[in-house]
Structure 1
Amino acid sequence: MTCEHPAGPRSIALVGPQGAGKSTLFDALMAAAGEPVRRPRADRGEARGEARSEIRLGHCAFMGERWSILDCAGSIEFAFETEAALTAVDLAVVVVEPSAARLGALEPLMRSLEAHRLPHLVFVNKIDQLDGSFDALLHALQGASARRIAPRQLPMRAGDAVIGYVDVVTGRAFRYGERDAAQPIELPEALRDDERKAHEELTEALADQDDALLEKILEDVEPGADELYAHISKDQSGDQIVEALIGQANRGHGVFRLWKALRHDAPPAAETARRRGLAGEGEGQPDEAPAVQIFKTAQGGRLCFGRVWRGVLRDGATLGQVGAGQGGGAGQVRVGGLYRFAGADQTRASEAQAGEVVALGRLEGVGAGDLLGGLAQDAAPFPRPPEPVYELAVAPKDRKDDVKLSTALTKLAQDDPSLSVEHRPETGETVMRGQGELHLSAAIERLAAVHNVEVAVATPSIAYKETIRRAVSQHGRLKRQTGGHGQFADVKIEVEPRPRGVGFAFLDKTVGGSVPKNFIPAVREAAEEAMRKGPLGYPVVDVAVTLVDGGFHSVDSSDMAFRAATKAAVAEALAKADPVLLEPVDHVVVSAPNAFTAAVQKLLSGRRGQIMGYHEKPGWPGWDDVEALAPEAELHDLIMELRSDTMGLGAYKRRFDHLSEARR
C-alpha cells in the first residue's frame, strides 16, 4: 500500500530502560515491514561486547514510506551513545515495562528528550504482565514527564490476562489475535466508564494546546474522531503531548498500531532539520548540496553512522568537514561506501536521501558530532561526553602486546567518546575510564574480540604522597679517597614542613662561601630528587630544604659529591621528621531524587566522606545535590552502590580537592 501523503524518509529511535524489550520491538517492527532481522550470533563473534552496547540500525519500508530505526542500549552506562543517537532522529519511542514502581528511572531520559525538544511517545511493552492498575501506571508515567501523557489505548482484561485494547479516540474495542491480528469486538460494558473518562482526559489534553478546540469543549460540542486525530498528530509531532500506546512485542501485539501512529505523528525530516537549525536555503531542491552529521563511529573509525539532513548523498562524494565534534579537524573527506541494514545483513547503497540514517565507510579523521557538507560549525549542537565515574587499570597479558594495546585503546576511545584512557606517571599504570562496570566490561570484550588483545585488569593504584610534621636539622658529609682525586662534600641542611598544597621549596642561606655558588644547583637538584621517594615509599610534598652551611675541598669537591651528600642528608632528615602518609581527597557532588537524599548521605559517610551540605539541583525540581569531601580510595566502586541505592537514578561528579593525612 502506498501512503497518501508521503513524508519522505524518516528516522526513529527506540529508547528506554534495560529489559523493557526494545530489541524485541525492533525485531517486531522490522518483521511487520517485511524485513525480519537476524540476531547477533556468538559463534560468529557478533555477541561479545558489541551486542550489549552497540546501536542497531535497521532500514525498512512500511506502507510506502521508508524508515531508519535505531535500537539503543538501555543501560545508563551507555546513555551517551543513546543521547548521540537522538540527535539523528525525528521521534523517539520510549519503551517501558508495565510496572509503575519501575518508571521512576525514566525521569533523566524524559528530561533529555524534553531538553532537545524531540517528539517522543511511550510504548508500554509486555502489557500482558501489567502490574496493578493502568491508572497507576499512567500516573507514574506522568510523574516522569513534563509533557502531558495522552493515553491512546486502554488495556482490556479477562481476569488477570490482557486480551486486547480499547481505542480511546473511537471507543472501539479490539481483541488480540496471532501476530497482531487484532479483531474488533463489542466494547465490554465494564470498560465504558473508563473509556469515557479517558476520552475526556485526552480531549482536554489536546484542548490545552488549541483555543478553538477548548471553545468547542466549553460549548459542549463533541469533536469528531478525524478532528481529534489531526490534533494528536500536530501536538505529538510538535512535542506538545506524549502519546501512550500498549502492546506485547514478542507476540506482535500492538506493533501495527504503533506503526500507524509513527506514520501519522512522526514529523518529517525537513521539519526536524528546521528545528535543529540544519535546513538549507534550497530545501528540497534536487541539486541541493548534501549535508550529514556523524553521531557514531565504529570499527576503529572505519565505519561512521550519520543522518543525511539535506540533499542526496552519493557513494564516492567529497564533503567538506567541520570539526564541531570528536574528529576535531577541518578539510574534506571522501565517502568510501554507503551502507544500509535491511533484513538480515548489511547491503551497499549507491545513494541516500535526506532523512535517512546510513553508515559511511572509510572517512579518515571523522568523529562523533562532526558536520559534513554545507553546515555551519555552530549548527546542530552535539552532546558532550559525560565525566567518567568508574575506572580500571589495564595491562596486556602478553608483554609483547604493549604497542598493540595502546593502538587498540586509542581506537576504542575514538569510537566511544564516553570512554577515555590515560597513562598515570605517578603509578605507571594505564587507566581506562568510563561509565560503569558494564561499560568497561564491554570495552574489554571488544579489545579481545575485535583487536585480539587480552588484558589483565585491576583497581587503579592511589597516588599517595607523604610529608613531614616537624622540622629537623641534618649534617651530610661525603669523604672518599681512592687514589688520585677523591670525593669531598659537606652540607648542613634544615628540613621543615610547609603549608599543604604549596609544594617544594629550596633556600640557600650559606654565608662566606662555605659552599661555593657553582655547587648550589647540584645541592638543589639532589634535594628535589630526594623528594621522589620518601621513607614511606611515596613522593614527598610540601617540604622546604634550606642549605645553612657546609664545606668543600678545592680539589676533591664536585657536583657529584655534593649531590651524594645532599641526598643522604635529606633522606636521613625525612626519616627523623615524623613522616606521614597523605591521601588524595576529592570534592564529590551526588545528584539524586530527594527521596534518596538521606540514603546518599549515609552512603558517603560510610565511605569516610565529610558531608558539606545539600541543596536542590538547579533546574531539577524534586532532586538534590549532596556535596561531600571523600578520600579517592573510597570512590572506586561508589557508582555501583549509588545506583543500587537510588533505583539507578543517582549520578555523581568529582574533582581533586586536596591531600589529607591518611587515617590509620
Structure 2
Amino acid sequence: MKNYSTDKIRNIALVGHGGTGKTSLIETMAFNTGLISRMGKVEEGNTVADYHPEETARQSTVHTSLVPIEWEGIKLNLLDTPGFSDFIFEVKGALRVADSCLFVFSAVDGIQVQHEIIWKMTEKSDLPRAVFINKMDRENADYNKLLDELKSRFKANFVPVNFPIGAAQDFKGIVDILEQKAYEFGNDGRPKEIEVPGELKDQLDEYREMLIEAAAESDDELTLKYLEGEELTPEEIKMGLQKTIAAAKAVPVFSGSAIQNIGVYNLDHFLAQYMPAPKCEEGPMAALVFKTLADPYVGRMNFIRVFRGTFKGDTQVYNPNKEKNEKVGQVLYVRGKNSEQTPEVPCGDMAVVVKLTETVSGDTLCDKDHKEQLEGIDFPVPNYTLAIIPKSKNDEDKLGDAIHKLIEEDPSLKMEKNTETKQTLLTGMGEAHLNIVMNKLKNRYGVDVSTEDVKVPYRETIRAKVEAEGKHKKQSGGRGQYGHVYIRFEPLAEGDFEFHEEIFGGAVPKNYFPAVEKGLREAMETGVLAGYPTVGIKATLYDGSYHSVDSSEMAFKIAASLAFKNGIPKAKPVLLEPVMYVEVTVPDEFMGDIMGDFNTKRGRVLGTEQNEDGTTIKAHVPQSEMFKYANDLKSMTQGRGQFKMEFYAYEEVPANIAEKVIAEAKKKGV
C-alpha cells in the first residue's frame, strides 16, 4: 500500500444498528475497487472486515476493522464498526479518529436504537455525516418513508444525492441527482445508463433543487447568485456541497443494495470526491491510539491516526499518558487481517504499530522532544458484572495474565478480586460482551471459566449496648493459659471500630491491651448472624483478671474473642447491605417505567432532572438489585437508556430478606 498525501485521504466510519449491512457494504466497495475478486458473505465468515473468530461465530461485527480502499486516486480508510450496544466503546474509538461517518440504514427496518444513540454522539461533535439506505431490494423496503422518518426524527438537512428506481423485487437501479441520469447495474456493480423513468422526473427536479440549495448555503456569493435566480455551475455545486457537508450542515442521502451491488459504485465516487479530507494540525508529530488488539501471534497491535507530522518506524516516541518512552519498530498498513510494512505514515492517515509495551487505546504517541497529549476517547464505564471461577488449577494459574491481555485491548473491561466475598469479578458492557470475553479466554489463551452470581458483600452491626465476659483458662500440666476480660460493646455512630480501655488497679496489665484489641478485630471478621464482617462497634475493656505465670498475649486474645461471641448475639445484631447511588438517563417516555422498576427493587427515587438526552432519574438502590440492571434497562428502554452508579452507604437489610440471607448462610455451615 502506497502513501497518500493528506488531501487524498478520507477517514470514514461506517456506523449503524446491527444487521443493516455495514460489513457487506465495505465488502462490495472492496470488490468494486478490484481488491477482491469475489465478494464474501457475513454468514459465511469470509468478509474482509469481519475476520475474528468471535465475529465468524456471531455473524456480526465485534471489533472495529480498518479497510482502506482506493477510488479515483483517493484513499478511503473505511472503519467498520459494531452495531450492538455492548460494543459501543469500539464505535467511540472510531468516531474520535474519523473525519466523517456514513450511517447505514435498512430500508425495511428504518431507524433503530443504535442509529439514535450514535447520531447523538456525532451531533455533539458536529461530525460530517452521510446516509446510505441499504436493502432496497428487500420486501417491504420503503425509501420515501425512511427519508421522511429521518427528517422528522433527527431534524437535519437530509439531501438526496440519488434515489431508487423501484423497490423490493422491482428495485433495479438509481437516479443520480447530480448528473440527472438514471442507471442500472450489472454483476460487476458498474452503472449502465438508462433513461430516467417519466414518473420520476418530477422527483428528480425536486431533489435537484434541494441539492443546489444546500450547495448555495455554503458560501455568501453562491447564496446571492442562487437567490438572484442564476444557475450554479457544476464546479460551484461541487465546491458548495463539499463545504456544506464538511460543516455538517447537510447530510447527503444515498440508496442501493450492498449485496446486489446496486448504487455502491456511485456511493464510492461521492465519498471520494465530496467527503472532507483530514485536518492536520501544525507542529511536531502526534498520533492517537484508537484501538488495541492483543494478537496471540503478532503481539500488541495499536491502531493509530496521525493528527500532526509524520509517524515513522524504527524510532522512539513518547507516551504522555503513561509518561514513558516507547520504541517503535514495525509500522503496518492493514486491510482487515492482511498487513504490509511501511516506513512512515503521513498526517491524516491510519496504520498499526506493533509490540509497544505500555500503550493502549486512548493514549497519545508524540515526538519525544515535544510532549503534548491529544484529546483522548470518552470510553463508557462498564456496569455489568459476573463472578468467574477457573475450572482447574491450570486455568487459575493462567487467568490473571490472560485477563490482563484482554483488558489491554478492551477499555470497557475490568477485573477485580473482591477480598470480602473472595470472588473474581469481571465487569463489562453487557451479557454479550462478557460472553465474548470468556470465549476469547478459552479459545485464545486456553483458560476455561464458569460463572456464578455475584455475592453481595453484606456486613453486620449491632443496635444495642451490652456487657460480656470472656474467660480463657487452660491447665494441662506445666504452664497453663489464662486470660479474663469484661468488655462493653455499643453501636458506633461513625467508623468501623473503636477500642477503648477503662482498667483501674491493674486488673489487666497494659501490655495485654493490644492482644485484646487484636482478638476483637479478628473476631469481627466473621459475624454472629451470617458470617459477614462486623462493623460499627465501639468496644471498651473495663475489667478482667490475669495470672502472673499463666497469662499471655494469646490467652487474652482468645478471651476477647470469647467476649465478642458471648456479647454480640445479645446486642441486637442486624445485617447491613451496600446501597448504590444510581443515575439513569432515558428518553422522557420511559421515565415512569424506570421509577416503577426502582420501587420493585426497594429503591428510593431522589429526584429527576431534564437534560438534552431526556430525563435523568436519581435514586438509592440496594446493590443486590443492580447486578443485572444493564439487561433490565436495555429491555425496558429498547436499549435507549444509560446509567451509572457508585457506592453510597451501608443500610439495614429488611427483616424478611435478612432472614433468607441468614438461613442461606447457615445452610452453608457459616
Structure 2 contact 242–274 (Cα < 8 Å) conserved: yes
- Residue identity in the other structure for 2:306: V
Structure 2 Cα separation of the partners of residues 200 and 11 of structure 1: 29
The reply to whether residue 550 of structure 1 matches residue 544 of structure 2 is yes
The reply to whether residue 624 of structure 1 matches residue 622 of structure 2 is no
Match of 1:322 among 294, 319, 332: 319
Match of 1:285 in 2: none
If the length of structure 1 is used for normalisation, what is the TM-score? 0.89
The reply to whether residue 194 of structure 1 matches residue 203 of structure 2 is yes
Structure 2 Cα separation of the partners of residues 611 and 67 of structure 1: 49
Structure 1 Cα separation of the partners of residues 540 and 148 of structure 2: 71
Listed as ranges, the gaps of 5+ residues in structure 1 are 281-288
Match of 1:491 in 2: 485
Structure 2 contact 159–211 (Cα < 8 Å) conserved: yes
Other structure's SS at 1:80 match = helix
Q: CA deviation at 1:304?
A: 1.7
Q: Which moved more, 1:93-102 or 1:472-481?
A: 93-102
The reply to whether residue 597 of structure 1 matches residue 591 of structure 2 is yes
User: Which residues of 2 match residues 320-469 of structure 1 at below 5 A?
Assistant: 320-324=317-321, 328-335=322-329, 337-342=330-335, 345-374=338-367, 377-469=371-463
The reply to whether residue 168 of structure 1 matches residue 199 of structure 2 is no
Match of 1:644 in 2: 635
- Residue identity in the other structure for 2:64: I
Structure 1 contact 492–547 (Cα < 8 Å) conserved: yes
Match of 2:146 in 1: 137
Other structure's SS at 1:450 match = helix
Match of 2:662 in 1: none
String of CA shifts for 1:202-259, please: whole Å, max 9, x gaps.
4444444433333334333343444222211111123332212112111111211111
String of CA shifts for 1:623-660, please: whole Å, max 9, x gaps.
11111111111112111121122121111000011112
Q: Which moved more, 1:423-432 or 1:62-71?
A: 62-71
CA separation of 1:344 and 1:369: change in aligned 2, threshold 3 A: closer
Other structure's SS at 2:478 match = coil
Structure 2 contact 576–651 (Cα < 8 Å) conserved: yes
CA separation of 1:351 and 1:207: change in aligned 2, threshold 3 A: closer
Structure 1 Cα separation of the partners of residues 373 and 474 of structure 2: 73
- Residue identity in the other structure for 1:357: M
Structure 1 Cα separation of the partners of residues 634 and 20 of structure 2: 18
Structure 1 contact 525–563 (Cα < 8 Å) conserved: yes
- Length, aligned pairs only: 638
- Residue identity in the other structure for 1:153: N
Match of 2:302 in 1: 304
Q: CA deviation at 1:7?
A: 2.8
After superposing on structure 2, the runs of 4+ consecutive aligned residues of structure 1 that deviate more than 6 Å are 37-45
If the length of structure 2 is used for normalisation, what is the TM-score? 0.88
Match of 2:24 in 1: 24
- Residue identity in the other structure for 2:511: N
Structure 2 Cα separation of the partners of residues 558 and 504 of structure 1: 24
Structure 1 Cα separation of the partners of residues 156 and 481 of structure 2: 83
Listed as ranges, the gaps of 5+ residues in structure 2 are 657-670
Match of 1:518 among 511, 533, 541: 511
Structure 1 Cα separation of the partners of residues 643 and 6 of structure 2: 45
- Residue identity in the other structure for 1:26: I
Structure 2 contact 608–618 (Cα < 8 Å) conserved: yes
Structure 1 Cα separation of the partners of residues 150 and 584 of structure 2: 25
Structure 2 contact 581–620 (Cα < 8 Å) conserved: yes
Structure 1 contact 293–369 (Cα < 8 Å) conserved: yes
Match of 1:283 in 2: none
Structure 1 contact 174–185 (Cα < 8 Å) conserved: yes
Match of 2:54 among 36, 49, 56: 49
Match of 1:120 in 2: 129
String of CA shifts for 1:458-477, please: whole Å, max 9, x gaps.
22211111112222221112
Other structure's SS at 1:53 match = coil
Structure 2 contact 8–73 (Cα < 8 Å) conserved: no
Match of 1:234 in 2: 243
Q: CA deviation at 1:133?
A: 5.0
Q: CA deviation at 1:35?
A: 0.9
CA separation of 1:250 and 1:50: change in aligned 2, threshold 3 A: closer
Match of 2:661 in 1: none
Match of 2:86 in 1: 77
Structure 1 Cα separation of the partners of residues 618 and 415 of structure 2: 27
Structure 1 contact 319–373 (Cα < 8 Å) conserved: no
Structure 1 contact 466–541 (Cα < 8 Å) conserved: yes
Other structure's SS at 1:251 match = coil
Structure 1 contact 603–642 (Cα < 8 Å) conserved: no
Q: CA deviation at 1:516?
A: 1.8
Structure 2 contact 111–150 (Cα < 8 Å) conserved: no
Structure 2 Cα separation of the partners of residues 448 and 479 of structure 1: 55
Q: CA deviation at 1:311?
A: 4.8
- Residue identity in the other structure for 2:448: E
- Residue identity in the other structure for 1:548: Y
Q: Which moved more, 1:67-76 or 1:128-137?
A: 128-137
Percent identity, aligned pairs only, is 31
Q: Which moved more, 1:576-585 or 1:161-170?
A: 161-170
Structure 2 Cα separation of the partners of residues 642 and 222 of structure 1: 53
String of CA shifts for 1:415-443, please: whole Å, max 9, x gaps.
11111111111111111111111111111
The reply to whether residue 293 of structure 1 matches residue 288 of structure 2 is yes
Structure 1 Cα separation of the partners of residues 610 and 215 of structure 2: 32
Q: Which moved more, 1:192-201 or 1:533-542?
A: 192-201
Match of 1:615 in 2: 609
Q: CA deviation at 1:120?
A: 2.2
- Residue identity in the other structure for 1:428: K
String of CA shifts for 1:69-88, please: whole Å, max 9, x gaps.
22111112111122112233
